[in-house]
Amino acid sequence: MADLHAFGRREDAAEALAEAVLHRLATGLSARGAATLVVPGGTSPAALFACLRCADLDWSRVTVVPSDERWVPVTDPESNERLLRETLCIDAAADARLLGLYRDTPTPRAALGEVAAALDALPIVVDAVVLGMGADGHTASLFPDARNIAACLETSAPCVAPQRPPGETPRLSLSLARLRATKSLSLLCFGEDKRAAYTRAAEPGPSTQYPVRGVIHQSRVPLSVYWAD
């Protein structure tokens, strides 16, 4: 199960999570001379990134990986790689190595082999994974409405291409297996709607209904939840 850290202000939640992540990265750097951090896209991590990018860390030895990617060019406003390049890998973190997931292929599925090979070059267990979640219980790009969500949740492959409904931007996501292969797993979410969704997901039930259950109901690595209204 998970331990829930509730904060009065979103900035406080972000600062607390940044401190935990930086400690984990520094531990990895001193132990192995390198560290890997997986982070979400979306709006919630903005204050977290603002804390991380000011931190005095040897970022040149840190690899940053988005938990998922929208299948748009990396110059597109929707791109998570662009988001990380513009809001995390700057300032003190400008030298971090950003391992993007987007490839210039018509579909995410066409890039699965190449992206999987890139992810396989990472350590089997990364140092820290930070995830967001939606009020529908998705995390990364593991959405309950994806037609192949069951297969996406069960695979041991490092990345998956959820089949989104027509009209939705195609996406590629790190798989649950990859997201759980970490020394530190955190979920950052704000607002009552997400707290209610988290509470529902914390009850037993199928992960296909709430994919975030895949990181809540697991014994591989303790989950820390950072929440503020």
Site residues for ligand 6PG per CB under 6 A: 40-44, 67-68, 80, 132-134, 139-140
Provide the minimum distance between the beta carbon of 83 and ligand 6PG in the complex, in angstroms, as a whole number.
8
What is the C-alpha end-to-end distance of the chain, expressed in Å?
Answer: 22
Toward ligand 6PG, which CB reaches closer, 139 or 224? 139
30 versus 152: smaller Cβ distance to ligand 6PG: 152
Degrees, nearest 5: CA angle 202-206-209: 85
Residue 62, beta-bridge partner list: 35
User: Is the Cβ of residue 55 or residue 72 nearer to ligand 6PG in the bound state?
Assistant: 72
Find the residue with minimal CB distance to ligand 6PG: 132
Helix residue spans in the chain (DSSP H): 10-32, 46-52, 80-87, 108-120, 149-154, 176-180, 192-201, 213-216
Closest distance to ligand 6PG from the beta carbon of 78 (Å): 9
203 contacts: CB under 8 Å, gap ≥ 6: none
CB of 42 to ligand 6PG, least distance (A): 3
**Closest CB to ligand 6PG among residues 42, 170:** 42
Cβ at position 67, least distance to ligand 6PG in Å: 5
CA distance 100 to 58: 20
Helices (H), 126-225: 149-154, 176-180, 192-201, 213-216
Q: Which is nearer to ligand 6PG, 28 or 45 (CB)?
A: 45
Minimal distance in Å, beta carbon 29 to ligand 6PG? 25
